[in-house]
Amino acid sequence: MAERPLRTRDIARQLGVHVNTVRLYEDSSYLPPIPRDANGYRRYSAIHLEQARLVQLTLQWPLLGDKALLVDLVTRAAAGDYGMAIELAYRYLARVRAERTSAEAAIAFLERWLAGQLRDAPPEQLTIGAAAAQLAVTPDMLRNWERNGLISVPRDPANRYRRYGAPEFGRLRVIRTLAQAGYSQMAILTMLHRVDADSAVDLRVALEVPVEEASIHVSADRWLSTLGAIEQRALAIIAQLGRLIDTARPV
């Protein structure tokens, strides 16, 4: 017995979305070509449903890095190029795991900083330009960190120039390490405040900005937890591609 064709509303109901979302997937070439019957109604199949599930899973927020790779993944799958889609999925998983390793390494670095094991500091006080050059950042970046409360820098009483000594330089290295690992300034600021109040604080806890304090515009808040969730979704994308391939395979 032939499989009953699915309608747009059937796909939308399965995904828990509005029918316009399904039409957007079609308009964006995220779905395979959809045949129509004599009266013009779309005739979706199980392949369309599994592809739509892949699109919903792959393109949901938060995303890591450039969205173009994930868009390429779903459009390749829609075109039946499953081999390339799988390759892109594993490439994305590798990227997520590299980011997570970087975030974990940043925490390990901070633990050494708190333990007083980081002795890399200038032998004398530095100007903002010299400090920026030694850290391979820009003076504007240092000013921005100070302006946002991440660090307080003493000034020369004679000329009011900023002077970066050992304590400031070590703190700057920590801020830079966290920023490069993907943590938002809100997460860094929260962590530094907690460390300033209690040097024995758990850094993983200190870096997790409470949801009620976090701006929805700052995707790097709760970064380590977010990376864990993104990694699980990357694995789910690979599994969904497997289901799609099984559905498309001739019986």
Domain boundaries, the chain: 100-224
- Residue-wise pLDDT for 49-78, tens only, equals 999 999 999 999 888 888 999 999 999 999
Measured between alpha carbons, how far is residue 135 from residues 45, 119, 124, 189 in Å?
57, 15, 15, 19
Sign of the CA dihedral with 70 first, then 74, 75, and 79 last: positive
Collapsing DSSP to helix, strand or coil, 40 comes out as coil
Return the pLDDT at 220. Answer: 43
Residue 119 has pLDDT above 90, yes or no: no
pLDDT tens profile 138-160 = 999 999 999 999 999 999 888 88
Beta-carbon count within 10 A of 211 CB: 9
- pLDDT at res. 117: 59
Residue 173 — pLDDT band, cuts 50, 70, 90?
Answer: confident
Q: Is the peptide bond before 62 cis (omega within 30 degrees of 0)?
A: yes
Cα four-point dihedral sign 227, 137, 174, 205:
negative
Pick the CATH number of 100-224 from 2.60.120.260, 1.10.10.10, 1.10.1660.10, 3.30.1370.110: 1.10.1660.10
Going by pLDDT thresholds of 50, 70 and 90, the confidence category of residue 23 is very high
Which residues is 6 bridged to in the sheet? Answer: 44
Checking if the pLDDT of 6 tops 80, the result is yes
6, 45 Cβ separation under 8 angstroms: yes
Confidence bin at 238 (pLDDT 50/70/90)? very high
